[in-house]
Amino acid sequence: MTATTVTDARLLATLKSSFGYYSFRPLQQEIMRCILHSQDVFVVMPTGAGKSLCYQLPALLQPGLTVVVSPLIALMKDQVDGLQEQGIAATYINSSLDQWEIARRQAAVARGELKLLYVAPERLTLDSFLGLLRSVKVAFFAIDEAHCISEWGHDFRPEYRQLRALRHIFPSAVFGAFTATATRRVEEDVRAQLGLQRAAGFRGSYDRPNLYYRVLPKKSAYKQLVEYLRERKGDSGIIYCLSRKGTEELATRLSVDGFSAAPYHAGLESNERRLRQEAFIRDDVQVMVATIAFGMGIDKPDVRFVVHYDLPKSLEGYYQESGRAGRDGEPSDCILFYTYGDAVKLRRFIDEKSSEKERQVALDQLQKIVKWAEGEGCRKRAFLAYFDEALAAHPDLCCDVCGTKTAKATSSSTRMDKRGGEAQHQALFDRLRALRKHIADERGVKAFVVFHDSMLKLMASELPITLRDLQQINGVGERKAAKYGNQFLTCIKQYLSETEARAESSSSERSLTRQTTVLLPPTIRTTLDLFERGRSVSEIAISRSFAVSTIEQHLVEAIGKGALTELERLVSAEKRRAIGAIMAEIGTELLKPVIDKLGDGYTYSELNYVRAFLTRKAPKGESHG
Ligand code: ADP
Ligand code: MG
Ligand code: ZN
The 3-state DSSP class for residue 106 equals: helix
Domains 3-203 and 516-614 share a fold: no
Verify whether ligand 1 is closer than 6 Å to residue 328 (CB atom): yes
* Closest of 499, 491, 502 to residue 459, by C-alpha: 491
pLDDT of 506 reads 61
Q: Measure 95 CA to ligand 2 centroid, in angstroms.
A: 20
Residue 480, number of CB atoms within 10 A of its CB: 22
Verify whether ligand 1 is closer than 6 Å to residue 14 (CB atom): no
Instruction: Give the ligand whose atoms come closest to the C-alpha of residue 327.
Output: 1
* Closest of 118, 117, 121, 128 to residue 161, by C-alpha: 121
Q: Nearest-5° angle of CA 394, CA 397, CA 400? A: 100
- Residue 605 in contact with residue 597, Cβ under 8 Å? no
Delimit the domains of the chain by residue range.
3-203, 211-410, 426-505, 516-614
Q: Measure 279 CA to ligand 1 centroid, in angstroms.
A: 23
Q: Measure 464 CA to ligand 2 centroid, in angstroms.
A: 31
Atom of ligand 1 nearest to the CA of 45: 3
Atom of ligand 1 nearest to the CA of 51: 3
pLDDT of 312 reads 95
CA distance 300 to 427: 23
Atom of ligand 1 nearest to the CA of 299: 7
Verify whether ligand 1 is closer than 6 Å to residue 48 (CB atom): yes
Atom of ligand 1 nearest to the CA of 22: 24
Nearest protein CA to atom 19 of ligand 1, as residue: 50
Verify whether ligand 1 is closer than 6 Å to residue 45 (CB atom): yes
The 3-state DSSP class for residue 183 equals: coil
Burial (CB < 10 A; 0-12, 13-18, 19+), residue 82, is buried
CA distance 455 to 436: 11
Atom of ligand 1 nearest to the CA of 46: 3
280-289 b/e (C-beta count within 10 Å ≥ 16 → b):
bbebebbbbb
Q: Nearest-5° angle of CA 49, CA 478, CA 104? A: 80
Verify whether ligand 1 is closer than 6 Å to residue 325 (CB atom): no
Verify whether ligand 1 is closer than 6 Å to residue 51 (CB atom): yes
- Residue 80 in contact with residue 91, Cβ under 8 Å? yes
Q: Measure 144 CA to ligand 2 centroid, in angstroms.
A: 7
Q: Measure 196 CA to ligand 1 centroid, in angstroms.
A: 25
- Residue 455 in contact with residue 474, Cβ under 8 Å? yes
pLDDT of 621 reads 42
Verify whether ligand 1 is closer than 6 Å to residue 47 (CB atom): yes
Instruction: Give the ligand whose atoms come closest to the C-alpha of residue 16.
Output: 1
The 3-state DSSP class for residue 176 equals: strand
Verify whether ligand 1 is closer than 6 Å to residue 535 (CB atom): no
The 3-state DSSP class for residue 360 equals: helix
CATH architecture, domain 211-410? 3-Layer(aba) Sandwich (3.40)
Amino acid at the residue 201? G
Could you tell which of 22, 53, 450 is best to mutate to test the pocket of ligand 1, judged by most ligand atoms within 8 Å of the CB?
53
H or E element that contains 444: none
> Residue 599 to residues 243, 313, 592, 594: CA-CA distances in angstroms?
80, 81, 11, 9
Verify whether ligand 1 is closer than 6 Å to residue 53 (CB atom): yes
CA distance 55 to 35: 8
Q: Nearest-5° angle of CA 417, CA 460, CA 448? A: 100
CATH architecture, domain 516-614? Orthogonal Bundle (1.10)
Superfamily of domain 426-505: HRDC domain (1.10.150.80)
* Closest of 136, 86, 91 to residue 116, by C-alpha: 91
Nearest protein CA to atom 25 of ligand 1, as residue: 21
Could you tell which of 28, 202, 298, 327 is best to mutate to test the pocket of ligand 1, judged by most ligand atoms within 8 Å of the CB?
327
Kindly give the interhelix angle for 244-256 and 221-231, rounded to the nearest 10 degrees. Answer: 60
Per-block mean pLDDT, blocks of 10 residues, the chain (625 long): 72 93 93 97 92 97 96 85 94 94 97 96 93 96 92 75 90 94 85 95 91 94 95 92 96 95 94 90 92 80 95 90 89 95 93 84 92 93 87 81 51 35 74 94 90 91 89 90 95 87 58 52 85 85 82 90 86 89 86 88 91 75 42
Superfamily of domain 3-203: P-loop containing nucleotide triphosphate hydrolases (3.40.50.300)
SS3 per-residue string spanning 300-321: CCCEEEEEECCCCCCHHHHHHH
* Closest of 308, 340, 310, 313 to residue 323, by C-alpha: 308
Instruction: Give the ligand whose atoms come closest to the C-alpha of residue 402.
Output: 3
The 3-state DSSP class for residue 283 equals: coil
